[in-house]
Structure 1
Amino acid sequence: MPSDHKQWVIPFAIQLIPSGMLFVGSLWMRESPRWLFLKGRREEAMKNLCWIRQLDEHDIYITEEVATVDQAIEEQIATVGLGFWKPFKAVSQSTSLMYRLFLGCMLFFWQNASGINAINYYSPTIFESLGVTGNTKGILNGIFGVVKAVFTVIWLLFLVDQFGRRKLLLCGAVCGSACMYAIGAYIYIVEPTKHPRDHLNGGGIAAIFFFYLWTAVYTPTWNGTPWVINSEFFDANIRPLSQACTTASNWLFNFLVSRFTEQMFAKMGYGVYFFFASLSFLAWFFAFFLIPETSGIPLEATDQLFKIKPIWRANEQLKAQLKEEEERFRQEVKDGAFEKNDPQEHVESA
């Protein structure tokens, strides 16, 4: 493509398509039942909840969930309170919440430490460092985007719920580190920028393979999983604040990596790959010792998840505890311990 305004107009116009689809789709989105319960719009909340769960409002699961939500709202009013500044005060007075917020922000630190945004923003430089020249760089860059899109869909539909969040982080850290080390070793030994060729040799093809393997490993692990974990780390009382802080930390680390990537390549060369590979390796220890599995844990029970040690056993133990409580609750419903239409008794029983 010639060097003119089309080089930025066309990519910009293409991005309007998914954003436009997102806007149109948002017109049919239903409001969160939890938010509606909080605002006292119970009839609408029940309707949306039944639609989401595809269950009748008299189903035992709906009764159980409504009781849990009601209890959480009562607890929020009694402890955190309602209002813009209340969550700030609650977090500042709780060391456990501050620690959890720290973990959420650090997840994005390790995400960016993998080197993803260095590759996103400087992929032509990446391919050039591997010895790729000419129009081939654009083609390989396009394939990079396709690989990310495909594995994102796979992650959404299969991996994140089938394998859990924690296992994906651990697998992605180790495999991603190995791929980066392999790429760095190739550049260190061959020095393709100092010894340019008109075609890639076997080592260059292998380096390209490891690059795409890294993309295929990173995308369904550290790319989206930290966002999912942060959405499940905090109960509804402080979720707006926690989501804002962790998202801001993501963009801070994103800025730092993208700002200094060009200088890093100029000064470090192949060392950039070893640098990101080492950080990815360290991310494994962070995820293993500090991050619990959040899959299958209700938001209202998140606090209990961080009270169980060791952290890698917390999910399993808490699920067993919640199952016992659920069976007890359902038995009380069957025994007529409270009337189904009395939400306050639902709260007390839960």
Structure 2
Amino acid sequence: MGILTLVEDRPTPKAVYNWRVYACAAIASFASCMIGYDSAFIGTTLALPSFVEEFKFAEMSASHLALVKANIVSVYQAGAFFGSFFAYATSYFLGRKKSLWIFVTIFMIGAGMMLGANQHRGLGLIIGGRVLAGIGVGGASNMVPIYISELAPPAVRGRLVGIYELGWQIGGLVGFWINYGLSETMAPSHRQWLIPFAVQLIPGGLLLIGSIWIKESPRWLFQKGDRERALANLCWIRNLPADDLYIVEEVAAIDAGIEYERIHVGAGFWKPFVALKDRKVLWRFFLGGMLFLWQNGSGINAINYYSPTVFKSIGIQGTNNGFLTTGIFGVVKTVVTFVWLLILIDKLGRRKLLMIGAFGGSLCMWFIGAYIKLSNPAAHTKNTKLSSGGIAAIFFFYLWTAFYTPSWNGTPWVINSEMFSQNTRSLGQASAAGNNWFWNFIISRFTPQMFLTMEYGVYFFFASLMILSIPFVYFLVPETKSIPLEAMDRLFEIKPVRNANKIIITELREQEEEFRHDASGAGLTTEKTKDSRIEKV
């Protein structure tokens, strides 16, 4: 089987895998570029000498400085937490496309506010702007995975939602390197630290422009009863005529899913909340939230937001050395994300990725923590050259990155974008995004204090959480690879979960073969088979 070999739920025309579906996913993923950049640039910007000088960080005590940095970073996650739930309301009433407009506009306003900060006005505009920017990215983090999963053919759904993760990594790569470049090419000044804040406007502006072209989600339009526009959008995205068998089957599946939800959940803004009384529905909300607990428990956001502090704890001395090491971290993440996107997510599957990544990443964290415990690099600040143990710790840090990135970095977003039913998908994604930003907030708010008090224990803490995630995934999370969205309810009913994916794929293929056998037995020609199947659908 080749790298791009697809596992399909049913025979699929090649026209379905066209440039339009990839272009829509790529444009929507400019939202994740915003998120990735904002997550990456802030840590090194806070360490930029010009920023430190302008806001008098050197005059603050260690505990006060840790609190100030934690507040600047964490208000962004607090805003994102609320934005992810605001998006549920906008997506229900206005749709996926207009919701993106709203939240990217809020983000742009917040990013613009930050540009007004200086030593006289203080940090208030940065903090207030980061709250608004957080609301914007929180809403976008809800909308984009839903939008992409609803327009994606099942066989490439992981790959398309993976473009969202790729956008996150590209934004992060720029964010990790920008301050290194500025510190090397510009003298310290107000303008020097202002540039990384201004760059936030670029991906937001690209999303605003691109969102004019993308189509509204056909599934959302069908749910709202706008069948004419829904069918037109679906045909445009699939690059097939309305009477094609594939389109007829897909529309029938969508209608059946909507009808099932209408009967069992009910239509309306508040009905998905009522559906939470159903333990089967609530279980998926629990799984989605826990995936993001384990994701943040890996330590990734402690590294994203406070990378200079992390590398200093390992023994990296000097601002530019810290920036360079952080930049390489961003490169490793981006390169491995391409491997995850093109090969692993739709080839190896979600479950195996999560368990392999957790096991390998945990071993790396144990090594780093043990090195810091035994060598105590903080006590040798005069020695700017890394020891052999320090070089090994840096190696294991990048090895941890190679384990984490193709597993826990983007895979929880993929699973959450596809495992909810049509009527609960928006609320489910809001819950998942809210959980992501809540745990993100907890980590970003307390990481500076953790490094002050726990030292090497921080790495042991994250290593332990990664190990605990393995039995959680093995026993509780089914494989969602290649399963149609309309078959997710059935997938989560099957026990044990490790066999659920194979059982569903077998059932779908048996249904296909049964129809083909019936058609063959009736002596139907190819065209008559198509007409008969359309009539049956």
Q: Normalising by structure 2, report the TM-score.
A: 0.61
Q: Aligned pair 1:261/2:469, yes or no?
A: no
Q: Aligned pair 1:150/2:332, yes or no?
A: no
| Distance in 1 of aligned mates of 2:228 and 2:294 | 43
* Distance change in 2, residues 1:31/1:328 (3 Å): farther
Q: Is the Cα contact below 8 Å between 1:170 and 1:284 reproduced in 2?
A: yes
* Distance change in 2, residues 1:180/1:167 (3 Å): same
Corresponding residue number in structure 2 for 1:60: 245
Q: Aligned pair 1:287/2:482, yes or no?
A: no
Residue type of the alignment partner of 1:24: I
Structure 1, residues 129-155: CA drift from partner, whole Å, max 9, x if none? 111111201111122222223323332
Residue type of the alignment partner of 1:113: G
Deviation at 1:338, TM superposition (A): 11
Q: Which deviates more from structure 2 when the two are superposed, residues 112-121 or residues 24-33? A: 24-33
Q: Aligned pair 1:120/2:304, yes or no?
A: yes
| Distance in 2 of aligned mates of 1:332 and 1:112 | 51
Q: Which deviates more from structure 2 when the two are superposed, residues 304-313 or residues 53-62? A: 53-62
Instruction: Specify the SS of the correspondent of 1:238.
Output: helix
Corresponding residue number in structure 2 for 1:97: 281
Q: Which deviates more from structure 2 when the two are superposed, residues 146-155 or residues 172-181? A: 146-155
Q: Which deviates more from structure 2 when the two are superposed, residues 203-212 or residues 71-80? A: 71-80
Structure 1, residues 234-258: CA drift from partner, whole Å, max 9, x if none? 1112101111111111111111111
| Distance in 2 of aligned mates of 1:331 and 1:81 | 37
Instruction: Specify the SS of the correspondent of 1:234.
Output: coil
Equivalent in 193, 218, 239 of residue 404 of structure 2: 218
Corresponding residue number in structure 1 for 2:197: 12
Deviation at 1:308, TM superposition (A): 1.3
| Distance in 2 of aligned mates of 1:19 and 1:12 | 12
| Distance in 2 of aligned mates of 1:7 and 1:172 | 38
Residue type of the alignment partner of 2:366: Y
Instruction: Specify the SS of the correspondent of 2:199.
Output: helix
Deviation at 1:15, TM superposition (A): 2.0
Residue type of the alignment partner of 1:298: P
| Distance in 2 of aligned mates of 1:341 and 1:250 | 47
Q: Which deviates more from structure 2 when the two are superposed, residues 68-77 or residues 321-330? A: 321-330
- Which residues of 2 match residues 1-350 of structure 1 at below 5 A? 2=50, 3-4=53-54, 5-92=190-277, 94-134=278-318, 135-196=320-381, 197-329=383-515, 349=537
Deviation at 1:342, TM superposition (A): 11
Q: Is the Cα contact below 8 Å between 2:292 and 2:412 reproduced in 1?
A: yes
Q: Is the Cα contact below 8 Å between 2:245 and 2:530 reproduced in 1?
A: no
Residue type of the alignment partner of 1:145: G
Deviation at 1:275, TM superposition (A): 0.8
Deviation at 1:37, TM superposition (A): 1.9
* Distance change in 2, residues 1:329/1:22 (3 Å): farther
Structure 1, residues 70-95: CA drift from partner, whole Å, max 9, x if none? 11122222222221101111122x01
Deviation at 1:178, TM superposition (A): 1.0
| Alignment RMSD | 2.3
Instruction: Specify the SS of the correspondent of 2:378.
Output: coil
| Distance in 1 of aligned mates of 2:533 and 2:194 | 59
Deviation at 1:17, TM superposition (A): 1.6
* Distance change in 2, residues 1:118/1:7 (3 Å): farther
* Distance change in 2, residues 1:327/1:63 (3 Å): farther
Q: Normalising by structure 1, report the TM-score.
A: 0.91
* Distance change in 2, residues 1:299/1:284 (3 Å): same
| Distance in 2 of aligned mates of 1:173 and 1:49 | 38
Residue type of the alignment partner of 2:492: F
Structure 1, residues 201-227: CA drift from partner, whole Å, max 9, x if none? 211111111111211221121011101
Q: Which runs of 5+ in 2 are unaligned?
A: 1-48, 55-189
* Distance change in 2, residues 1:330/1:31 (3 Å): farther
Q: Is the Cα contact below 8 Å between 2:478 and 2:497 reproduced in 1?
A: yes
Q: Is the Cα contact below 8 Å between 2:313 and 2:377 reproduced in 1?
A: yes
Deviation at 1:329, TM superposition (A): 4.6
Percent identity, aligned pairs only, is 57
Residue type of the alignment partner of 1:268: M
Q: Which deviates more from structure 2 when the two are superposed, residues 106-115 or residues 3-12? A: 3-12
| Distance in 2 of aligned mates of 1:218 and 1:25 | 31
| Distance in 2 of aligned mates of 1:26 and 1:83 | 27
Residue type of the alignment partner of 1:148: K
Deviation at 1:333, TM superposition (A): 7.3
| Distance in 2 of aligned mates of 1:22 and 1:329 | 44
Q: Is the Cα contact below 8 Å between 1:129 and 1:187 reproduced in 2?
A: yes
Instruction: Specify the SS of the correspondent of 1:162.
Output: coil
| Distance in 2 of aligned mates of 1:242 and 1:341 | 37
| Distance in 1 of aligned mates of 2:279 and 2:301 | 32
